[in-house]
Amino acid sequence: MKPLDEYKKKRRFSATPEPPPTTARSTSGRLFVVQKHRASHLHYDLRLEDGGVLKSWAVPKGPSLDPATKRLAMAVEDHPVDYAEFEGIIPEGEYGGGTVMVWDRGTYEIEGQTDVASALHKGELKFTLHGAKLKGSWVLVRTRNRQWLWIKHRDEYASTDDITVTNPTSVSTGRKLAEIAADEGGDAEKAATGDPASVPSVPTPKVRRARRAKA
């Protein structure tokens, strides 16, 4: 099976604006992207360029800067390198239907070796990210089958802050998920459930009294 055959099989390119299954190479050859994707559920997709494609993992809870936190990362099909630029709407009813954001993007370096494929085959890939949001040393460790753990190493970029909450917008356009959906004809209400700041706060008793007085 060719690297992008599964990607092609799952999509109707006459119906989705996602890029076609073409192998390519970025300028660096070591591109990475993390996309925030509100489909049936909110998740993040980690993608690392290697061999003309983006090796990809779905991360349900998104990245954590805390080395004590291990994030589940499920290996999924390879994606084309051009997918790193994709931000917009996958039509409902299509595979992965929902809103996609370029949450972070940059380059990466392999730590201790030069062959990504061999490291993935062995079940452990150590790498350094040079992104707008994610920086420093990380590791992917396979636990079984398609299940991996994505873990931050202890370095100057480690933190207990939840970066998915403090940095919810696109590095490409500065938009939140709901704004992307509203701008491009998607379901803004559904997308808003992926925007932390879009969740309304519970009014305090003082606010509730003020609202009743105005009614």
| Residue-wise pLDDT tens digits, 147-175 | 999 999 999 999 999 999 999 999 999 99
Residue 202 — very low, low, confident or very high, per pLDDT cuts 50/70/90? very low
Helices (H), 40-153: 116-122
Q: What is the pTM for the complete model shown?
A: 0.90
77, 87, 75: which is closest to 19 by C-alpha? 87
Write the pLDDT tens digit of every residue in 184-198. 999 999 999 988 864
Residue that has been written with the tokens 């490409």 in this structure: 172
The residues that bridge with 204 in the sheet, in sequence order, are none
Report the alpha-carbon distance of residue 185 to residue 99 in Å, rounded. 10
| Domain boundary assignment for the chain | 5-214
In angstroms, rounded to a whole number, what is the distance separating the alpha carbons of residues 47 and 80? 10
Mean pLDDT confidence for 32-53? 97
Answer yes or no: are the C-beta atoms of 161 and 65 closer than 8 Å. Answer: yes
Q: Which 3 state secondary structure label does DSSP give 205?
A: helix
pLDDT of residue 74: 98
- The reported pLDDT for the residue numbered 114 is 76
The percentage of residues in the chain with a pLDDT greater than 70, rounded to a whole number, is 91
Contact 80, 23 (CB under 8 A): yes
Q: Which distant-in-sequence residues (6+ apart) come within 8 Å of 1 by Cβ?
A: none
